[in-house]
Amino acid sequence: MKGQNFMTSNRSTKTIKKALKKKPAKPTQAEAEDAVRTLIRWAGDDSDREGLRDTPKRVTKSYLEFFKGYEQEPKEILSRTFKDVEGYDEMIVLRDINFNSYCEHHMVPFSGRAHVAYIPGDKVVGISKLARLVDVYAKRLQIQEKLTAQIASTLNEVLKPRGVAVVVEATHMCMTTRGVQKHGTVMQTSQLHGLFKSDHRTRQEFFSLLKVAHFNTSPR
């Protein structure tokens, strides 16, 4: 009886924890616009003056575009693959994928480019899907470290390649427009899986390709 009570209690605890993790209800359009009006007034302006009267509507509309990544499932983007590649099993690199994202700490933009590489196992994916994968994760509130890890982990999980490498370079407005205000700073992050992590020659080849590409595209 005691064991049964323990199991019942344990299941109840898990149910409660699952309920607590459930996402809160999404605010309505009107509630979102009211929130923008509140921020305008908090900043010290009049949300009812002519120039700001339609700003709440514009902001909420732009947010739908800025954060459309929440409406997309990253794994579905990689669902269509190809196996007829004549035995190709070398590195595939798509570099200089431009992106714009928003810092989850200050909700200001950070932007840059991502370089994505993988060594296929028995399938490859269309190159546009790699760019779309970057965008899906970028169009969310982010930090660069998490963005880098999510891109790499999803590629590794879905394609099951022999290796994955992702490098992200970005400039953060939370560094350039507030706080320390250091212009020209670039943050670099990387995430490696499989052969890119275990084999130094593979890793060196990847980073060498990025270095050559950077040299060839740098302004003279």
User: What domains appear along the chain, each with residue ranges and CATH number?
Assistant: 28-66 (1.10.286.10), 80-217 (3.30.1130.10)
pTM metric for this prediction: 0.82
d(CA 147, CA 50): 39
d(CA 28, CA 89): 49
Counting other chains too, the contacts that 11-20 makes at CB distance below 8 Å and 24 or more residues apart are: none
Q: DSSP secondary structure string, 34-98?
A: HHHHHHHHHHTS-TTSTTTTTHHHHHHHHHHHHTGGGGS-HHHHT--EE--STT--S-EEEEEEE
State residue 168's pLDDT score.
Answer: 96
State residue 176's pLDDT score.
Answer: 73
State residue 215's pLDDT score.
Answer: 43
State residue 185's pLDDT score.
Answer: 84
State residue 219's pLDDT score.
Answer: 44
Q: Which residues are catalytic?
A: 103-106, 144, 172, 174
Q: How many CB atoms lie within 10 A of CB 179?
A: 10
State residue 211's pLDDT score.
Answer: 82
Mark residue 125 as left, alpha or beta (left: phi above 0; alpha: psi -120 to 50; beta: remaining): beta
State residue 13's pLDDT score.
Answer: 59
Burial of 54 (0-12, 13-18, 19+ CB in 10 A): exposed
State residue 174's pLDDT score.
Answer: 78
State residue 72's pLDDT score.
Answer: 93
> What is the β-pairing status of strands 141-142 and 92-103?
parallel
In the chain, which residues have pLDDT < 70? Answer: 1-21, 212-220
What are 115's two structure tokens? 């370089």
